[in-house]
Amino acid sequence: MEISDFVAGLPKVELHLHIEGSLEPGMMLELAKRNDIPLIHKDEAALLEAYQFTQLQDFLDLYYEGMSVLLTERDFYDLTWAYLEKVAAQNTRHVEIFFDPQGHTSRGIAFETVLSGIRRALDDGERHLGISNRLIMCFLRHLSEADGFATLEQALPHRDEIYGVGLDSSELGYPPSRFERLFTRCRDEGFALVAHAGEEGPAHYVQEAVDLLRVQRIDHGNRAMEDPALVARIAKAGIPLTVCPLSNVRLQNVDRIENHPIGRMMAAGLKVTINSDDPAYFGGYMNENFQAVMDGPNLSRDGVAIAASNAIEASFATPERKEALHAELQAYLAA
Ligand code: ADE
Ligand code: ZN
């Protein structure tokens, strides 16, 4: 994919990125060797060959296998730092990244090991690359409410290092309503709230995320489009959506990029943002996702600029940081 100068130079904000989904095949193999972890797929070609998904679960099976190479604090640091260097080169200026602690604690890795490695890299990213950040802890929805509460207990001593909580993993059959009490508790603890909804699951799950979990952003949200009344409500409430174009195509939630609903979502008044989800698995970081929707052609230059501005607005950055990001974007667009 040829990245245009416009996309490459655009100051960007990423709001939907699973740090474990930024584990590139090369690093996966390197860490497997370093940590003496056996992998089913033995080389880069075999891994890339396996990255052909027909649905979310195909991907998740490989995603959980892939993260099994992450053991030490240094591993989590290296993973996060590699992501930050990549997106810094793409002029990404603020990131809000997800991590899946249950994918690690279930393998016997200490919560603190995971958190410390990621946080240390984020702090270095802010200092050395000028990328501000927020960290969001996701609960795995295929696991129980009790498991979620236990994970929250592990997070509470580190309240100041984790800005928000989210909900991810297998969607169909795991509606948001299962986690209403957990999210109420997280809200009481002062966490920002987001949830994956309407990626593969029906519009009704998006409604539950809004009404029962009371989320401040919806991750994906594509299938809300099947319920125009719901779309109107979300648009009126100004609840942003973190859309992930290449992910949607690779997981076959959209048959081809030309048919991606992002243009229609924006036309319906939804506050849409553009993000990468799991870039190592879906063929692209921020630039590639922005370029894909421009080539689609789903969005014009103006549409992409609106999405970039929406992401600043929809972020959990401080008001001062938002103002600086807006100024940077406006200066770029004016030039
Ligand atoms: N975990 C990592 N990527 C995900 C996605 N796209 N949907 C749900 N859970 C995920
Ligand atoms: Zn996601």
- pLDDT value at position 298? 82
For ligand 1, whether the C-beta of 199 sits within 6 Å is: yes
| Pocket lining: 67 vs ligand 1, CB cutoff 6 Å | no
Q: Which domains does the chain have, with CATH numbers?
A: 5-334 (3.20.20.140)
Q: How far apart are CA 94 and CA 104, in angstroms?
A: 26
Cα dist from 311 to 56, 121, 258, 301, whole Å: 25, 22, 22, 16
Does this model's pTM top 0.95? My answer is yes
User: Ligand 1 pocket, 224 CB below 6 A?
Assistant: no
Return the residue whose CA atom lies nearest to atom 4 of ligand 1.
169
Ligand 1: which of 16, 51, 56 to mutate, judged by most atoms within 8 Å of the beta carbon? 56
CB atoms within 10 A of CB 52: 10
Residue 138 Cα: closest atom of ligand 1:
1
Three-state DSSP state, 160: helix
Helix or strand run (H / E) with residue 308: helix 301-314
Per-residue pLDDT of the chain in tens (335 residues, 90 and over written 9): 899 999 999 999 999 999 999 999 999 999 999 999 999 999 999 999 999 999 999 999 999 999 999 999 999 999 999 999 999 999 999 999 999 999 999 999 999 999 999 999 999 999 999 999 999 999 999 999 999 999 999 999 999 999 999 999 999 999 999 999 999 999 999 999 999 999 999 999 999 999 999 999 999 999 999 999 999 999 999 999 999 999 999 999 999 999 999 999 999 999 999 999 999 999 999 999 999 999 987 899 999 999 999 999 999 999 999 999 999 999 999 99
Which atom of ligand 1 is nearest the CA belonging to 20? 2
Q: From ligand 2's centre to the CA of 154, what distance in Å?
A: 22
Tell me, in angstroms, the distance from the centre of ligand 1 to residue 55's CA: 11
Q: Which residues surround ligand 2, an ion (CB under 5 A)?
A: 277
Q: Is the CB of residue 21 below 6 angstroms from any atom belonging to ligand 1?
A: yes
Residue 166 C-alpha to ligand 2 middle, in angstroms?
A: 10
Closest ligand to C-alpha of residue 59 is: 1
Cα separation, 216 vs 61, whole angstroms: 29
Q: Ligand 1 pocket, 169 CB below 6 A?
A: yes
With a 6 A CB cut-off, is 56 part of the ligand 1 pocket?
yes
CA distances to 62, 72, 180 from 34, rounded to whole Å, are 20, 11, 41
The ligand 1 atom at the shortest distance from the C-alpha of residue 21 is: 2
Helix (H) or strand (E) holding 80: helix 73-88
CB 226 within 8 A of CB 202: yes
- Residues forming the active site: 199
Q: How far is the CA of 277 from the centre of ligand 2 (A)?
A: 5
Mutate to test the pocket of ligand 1, among 14, 15, 17, 18 (most ligand atoms within 8 A of CB): 18
Atom of ligand 1 nearest to the CA of 247: 6
Q: For residue 140, how many other CB atoms are within 10 A of its CB?
A: 21
Note the ligand closest to the C-alpha atom of 275: 2
CA dist 115 and 122 (Å) reads 10
Q: Which amino acid is at 300?
A: S
